[in-house]
Amino acid sequence: MKMKKVVFLLFMVATATACSNEQKEQKDALMAEVMAAHDEVMPKMGELRQVAKTLQAKADSLSTLTEQDFSTEISTLRQTAKSIEDANEGMMEWMRQFEMPDNEAPIAEVLVYLKDQKEKVDTVRDKMLKSLEEGKALQ
């Protein structure tokens, strides 16, 4: 009977260790995905600002012309510039609120946090890329 308890205890320790390693691998993979999304668009922040600035300048230039009505174009340019600025600010806001998970925190909590952060950074990344593409098309 005692041998069964020892075998059971060893089984439980092995199972817990395997789960712990699997969760650590999940944590590391999620963290890598979060940082990859961030790193993909961070180098584009300067380009985003420049495209927004160019669109605003183009809208300002069109607004000085009086012989034709450019209100639709001006509105489109300004809305796209605003989308770019909002996307850029979205990344800045995400970076301000993101905190590297504490190594002492329960792994289950860390996994939930990282999954949430991955969704948020993916959304920000997608908005940045979409607005940049739309802005470039209007330049």
pLDDT at 63: 87
Kindly state whether residue 129 falls inside one of the protein's structural domains: yes
pLDDT at 7: 46
pLDDT at 18: 47
Kindly state whether residue 17 falls inside one of the protein's structural domains: no
Q: pLDDT tens per residue, the chain (139 residues)? A: 565 554 444 444 444 444 578 999 999 999 999 999 999 999 999 999 999 999 999 999 988 886 678 889 999 999 999 999 999 999 999 999 999 888 889 999 999 999 999 999 999 999 999 999 999 999 9
User: pTM of the predicted model, to two decimals?
Assistant: 0.80
Kindly state whether residue 7 falls inside one of the protein's structural domains: no
DSSP state of 69: -
Kindly state whether residue 4 falls inside one of the protein's structural domains: no
Category of 18 on φ-ψ map: left (φ > 0), alpha (ψ -120 to 50) or beta: alpha
Give the structural domain span for 29: 24-138
List, in order, residues 6 or more apart from 121 with CB less than 8 Å away.
34, 37, 38, 94, 98
Geometric angle at alpha carbon 99, from 96 and 105, rounded to 5°: 160
pLDDT at 51: 97
Residue reference for tokens 């300048």: 57
pLDDT at 129: 97
Do the beta carbons of residue 110 and residue 101 sit within 8 Å? yes
Nearest to 99 by CA among 14, 31, 40: 31
Q: How many structural domains compose the chain?
A: 1
Kindly state whether residue 50 falls inside one of the protein's structural domains: yes
